[in-house]
Amino acid sequence: MKFKKEAKGLRLVLGYFGLFMIVEGFVTLFPLTILAFYPQEWECYLDFLVPGGGYIGLGFLLWLFTIAFYKNGKLGKNEDALLLVLLWISAFVIGAFPFWLTKFGVLNHQNPAINLNMSFTEAFFESTSGYSATGLTVIPETVFLTGVDSSSYGWAHVFLFHRTIMQFIGGVGLVLLVASVISSKNNFKLFFAEGHNDRLLPNLGRNAKLIFGIYFGWIAAGTLALWTAGMTPFDAFCHSTAALATGGFSTRSNSIMFYSSETYMGFGNGNLLYTGNGLIIEGITLVLMIAGATNFVLHTFLLSGKIKHFAKDVEIKTALFLIIVCTIFTSVVTFQEHSYTYSDSIDHIDFWTSLRYSVFNIVSSITTTGFTNFPSITYLGHFSVFVGLVVMTIGGGMGSTAGGLKQYRVALLLKEFRWSFKYKNSSDRYLNVKSVTRLGQKKEVDDTSIFEATNYTVLYVTFLVIGTFTLLCLKNTTLEESIYEWGTSLSGTGISIMNFVAYKSNAGIGYYNGLLWALDVAMLLGRLEILPVFYALNRFFVVPLENAAKKHQANKAKRSLMEQEEA
């Protein structure tokens, strides 16, 4: 085929965006596959078919009228960031429609029972939380499963599966999904802009397939393990996927705590809904969360038997140190608070229970997953809330599905602090070696890497402060709630200290919507690691103004020259 000319600029951006819309449309249709196992839930199929089919059609038309008959050029400065932000916001919108469309009876056979009663703000928040792999939720309590595999809401499985698929895609990244099916010379640029920092293979298509292979392998193994431990197949798949995506969406309203023996002692007639081993389920979930927060390159070391390369990695050492130290401190403090309780509403717990809660909270927080095996984070005490906020801010490994600052950046800053003291008074003739073991190699750390890690940390903390002040401006929010809710959203963790339903009732719909939209921004910034959003805004607003100014100056100079010639 002979192409007209090369597509570039906004034409190229919109053309690629059209291709992404097609993929997002098919992703939105995928939850309907669960109807093969739960055919009684078929009535809600239009809630997925209409937005999914519409996105596929719009995406095709956008591609057709922009780059279909053009030779694809290279994305210009900041155009990769603009495309990336458009892609993610578009995913948030399309993911929201199935929840929101349930209120329209014409799409649901005039069955009012299907209505989730979710506003578009709530639906968008749920979708943003899913695609950003955060795990905060405002979905009605009735949707969660309460029986062995049943819910008071008759269409629970398809919507819970939709949440799981969003986290599955959001965990590895939308660009990686598209790169596995659409080849483009611009994909690697988008891949790095999305926050992926390491190549497993030089070709992005093969790289994507290898990552998905590792991802699917862990999900399959986790699903089988959780099923064997006592979960239903549906529960096992959803929890395994959410753990690997470090997302935290659960099929149960009280998360992993649902499977602890304490939860089931309250059911009447001695007939427990669940007959598995809660401790084994918690142990499997811990392993899956850590796997999800581990660099995919390190997974290849495990698969190839290079255990020493894996164990010596600076991120693994940093994570292990933080988990052990933080667990010891929080378990001791939590046990002390519950042993010498200052409130009648807090039960006494033994040290083993305190340790179990603490290790799960620390691992769930540092991996930015958000699963809980305890009643609430406030139940563990203020100290656990603070430590949880610190470790979720640090986050998981580079090149993983986790959020936060990332362990490699934090490790570099800690080592630079140590190096500054070690080499402060050393002789100029002495070679000051700064090296870390990373991805199987001992690498020298240059000043640029430390500078970048410092800059991003300052930027991240700055937004943590700005977001905290923003939430404090809302009605009925405390400092502890504001900093924790913004921190859990920015890091993509999803453990909440606030009751959204109660806040909506007490503060009013306006402040409630303001809270959700503010947290949407935090989740987007955290998922894209802040900088691409700024680059996108620069390309969308600043660059056109600069070009217009240059054109104006050029025209002015041209007119001036013509006037001189006429004179």
* Each residue's pLDDT expressed in tens, for the chain with a length of 567 residues: 555 688 788 888 899 899 889 999 999 999 999 999 999 999 999 999 999 999 999 999 999 999 888 887 887 777 888 888 888 999 999 999 999 999 999 999 899 999 999 999 999 999 999 999 999 999 999 999 988 888 999 999 999 999 999 999 988 877 677 666 555 555 555 665 566 665 555 566 677 778 888 999 999 999 999 999 989 999 999 999 999 999 999 999 999 998 886 554 444 334 445 556 889 999 999 999 999 999 988 998 988 888 998 999 999 999 999 999 999 999 999 998 876 554 455 567 888 989 999 999 999 999 999 999 998 898 898 999 999 999 999 999 988 889 899 999 999 999 888 887 776 666 565 666 778 888 888 888 888 889 989 999 999 999 999 999 999 999 999 999 999 999 999 999 999 999 999 999 999 999 999 999 999 999 999 988 887 787 777 777 776 776 777 776 777 777 777 777 776
What's residue 193's pLDDT? 58
Residue 253 lies in a domain: no
State the DSSP code for 144: S
- The values of phi and psi at residue 365, to 5°, are -80, -45
Residue 104 lies in a domain: yes
Residue 111 lies in a domain: yes
Range of the domain at 158: 1-196
Q: What is the pTM of this model?
A: 0.91
Burial of 113 (0-12, 13-18, 19+ CB in 10 A): exposed
Cα-Cα-Cα-Cα torsion 390, 392, 394, 399, nearest 10 degrees, comes to 180
104 vs 102: CA distance, rounded Å: 5
Reduce the DSSP state of residue 232 to 3 states and report it: coil
Q: Could you give the angle at which helices 314-339 and 351-366 cross, rounded to 10 degrees? A: 140
Residue 40 lies in a domain: yes
Rounded alpha-carbon distances, angstroms, from residue 347 to 104, 264, 502: 45, 17, 23
Residue 385 tokens, joined = 């809330």
What's residue 75's pLDDT? 78
Residue 543 lies in a domain: no
- Indicate the number of domains in the chain: 1
457 vs 280: CA distance, rounded Å: 37
What's residue 187's pLDDT? 58
Residue 435 lies in a domain: no
Residue 456 lies in a domain: no
Rounded alpha-carbon distances, angstroms, from residue 425 to 37, 114, 262, 447, 466: 69, 71, 58, 19, 38
What's residue 81's pLDDT? 82
35 vs 41: CA distance, rounded Å: 7
What's residue 264's pLDDT? 47
Residue 452 lies in a domain: no
